[in-house]
Amino acid sequence: MPDGVRACLGRRMALLRPNQQVVNPQFLLYSYLSPAFQNTIISKTIKGATVERIALNEFPDFPIWIPSLADQQKIAKVLSTLDAKIELNNRINAELEGMAKLLYDYWFVQFDFPCLPDDYPSSGAGKLAKIAAACNYRSVGGLPIPQKGEYFIYVLLCADDSFYIGMTDDLYRRWFEHKTGQGAKWTKAQAPIKVLHHEVFDSRSAAAEREKELKTGFGRKWLKREYDKLSNAAPTAKKTEGLPSHLMQVGGSPAYQTKPMQAGSPAHQSKLMQAGKMVFNPNLKREIPEGWEAGTLDKLGEVIGGSTPSKAEDSFFCASGIPWITPKDLSDNKGKKFIQRGAYDVTEAGKKAATLKIMPKGTVLLSSRAPIGYTAIASNPLTTNQGFKSFVPNRGYGSDYIYRTLNHFMKLIEQNASGSTFKEISAAPLKAIVIQFPPFELERRYSERVSPISRQQQNLEKQNQELTELRDWLLPMLMNGQVRVEKVSLLL
């Protein structure tokens, strides 16, 4: 703690201010963290009736090795450099996780996923990719594919709640132009939010006549009236919590439940034909995008539990065997996405005795009790104790999608837990939880997007593990003078 900074300490805490003319504060911290000093603390611990403690008046006499101040500074610099690199990697991984989560939330929570139809006619690979990037479901999804001889009248809802009315032979291309500032002067100044209404005509003249009609005072009043009906019946705050205002689905009588407007029909006999078709699902009791479906959680993958070999049998555990994970391992792994092994490995005999199943790399681990909610992706084949319900990705969904889906629905999972001593989610209620599922193609596209992010996260976690092992290996030897800083610098 810097000089001059005041501290308010809680119970069972003490503050030490070293004489910096004799001891470097960082060196002192690493000395206290060294195994030798930790063993000294353990040997000096006083067993109390309530808690264990050490005598503060004896603490200054606990022995530590103090080299010259210059050497202390060198040692502290080596160890703090390793710690700084570990912390930097952690920050990078947190940013990467935020990026992947944000993409998941946009696509699978807010339903604002890319939606250019597969049969959309190509207009050059470069242009097609740009159009696809601009076409998200809530803003433009579900519009008709351009056909020869057809013309569209469209109404855009703009950021200031104004309407822009236009005509085109290709709604997707035209939306891309408006969205990227290539469209009308009006939509360059008032950003387009979504396609509020569209109509199809079999001749340019009929479309032009309808465009003229909608631009009259009568037509604009009809648009305003119908939009107000939808706005006044907007979803509840609970349904739209966390969504940006411009992404909220307009409620009311959706256009897809009514007959399309025929060319020349009076405006008052029609309903708005909106983009982003949402369909009410009776199992979920809410609307989901057209083409999505409800399903139980075990559709994500095969759910497998674990068990514990008898700890009375030494031959069931070993230093290097089959990785065996407990919830504590995930607790110690907090902030990391992947898990390679835990504190214990089991032998083949232990695996057989406890009827353990070896789960493949990519399995998503979910701690199911004490506590519920730790998650990780297996970096290699492993098994677990009974504190897990693990999802093996063998039903078409990727590990990244399963991982984020379980985390997104964690509150729902916890609501289905039971138990008097501690809460636990057992296999049957876990498998029966109903959630929405996107088409496999959309999940595949998501997995392709996030797999490079996931690989980078895994590489950084592996690098941190190696840096931590190096730091922990160096720490005791630097603290007792076994290794000189100059030799360590050559290694780094």
**Per-run averaged pLDDT (10 residues), the chain, 492 residues:** 71 81 87 85 82 80 85 90 95 96 96 91 79 93 91 95 95 94 93 94 93 92 89 50 36 34 48 89 94 96 96 92 94 87 94 96 95 95 96 96 97 91 92 96 95 96 93 86 63 50
For residue 154, CA distances in Å to 201, 226, 273, 317 come to 11, 15, 9, 69
Give the count of beta carbons closer than 10 Å to the beta carbon of residue 118: 6
Tell whether 93 is covered by a domain.
Answer: no
Residue type, position 278, single letter: M
End position of a domain, from candidates 389, 414, 437: 437
Tokens encoding 183: 């469209």
* pLDDT in the model for residue 364: 98
In a shared domain, residues 251 and 307: no
In a shared domain, residues 307 and 341: yes
Tell whether 227 is covered by a domain.
Answer: yes
In a shared domain, residues 163 and 225: yes
The candidate with the shortest Cα–Cα distance to 223, out of 264, 284, 273, is 273
| Cα–Cα dist 279/295, whole Å | 15
In a shared domain, residues 266 and 301: no
Q: Of all helices (H) and strands (E), which one includes residue 232?
A: helix 217-232
End position of a domain, from candidates 244, 275, 306: 275
Tell whether 425 is covered by a domain.
Answer: yes
In a shared domain, residues 258 and 349: no
Could you tell me the CATH number of the domain that includes residue 302? 3.90.220.20
* pLDDT in the model for residue 254: 33
Tell whether 289 is covered by a domain.
Answer: no
| Cα–Cα dist 417/415, whole Å | 6
| Cα–Cα dist 90/106, whole Å | 24
Tell whether 287 is covered by a domain.
Answer: no
pTM of model > 0.85: no
In a shared domain, residues 267 and 405: no
In a shared domain, residues 131 and 260: yes
Tell whether 137 is covered by a domain.
Answer: yes
282 class by beta-carbon count within 10 Å (0-12 exposed, 13-18 middle, 19+ buried): exposed
In a shared domain, residues 376 and 418: yes
Give the count of beta carbons closer than 10 Å to the beta carbon of residue 128: 15
| Cα–Cα dist 70/242, whole Å | 54
Tell whether 284 is covered by a domain.
Answer: no
* pLDDT in the model for residue 267: 46
Residue span of the structural domain in which 218 resides: 125-275
How many structural domains is the chain composed of? 2
In a shared domain, residues 176 and 262: yes
| Cα–Cα dist 289/110, whole Å | 10
Helices (H), 318-409: 327-332, 348-353, 399-408
Tell whether 117 is covered by a domain.
Answer: no
| Cα–Cα dist 55/45, whole Å | 8
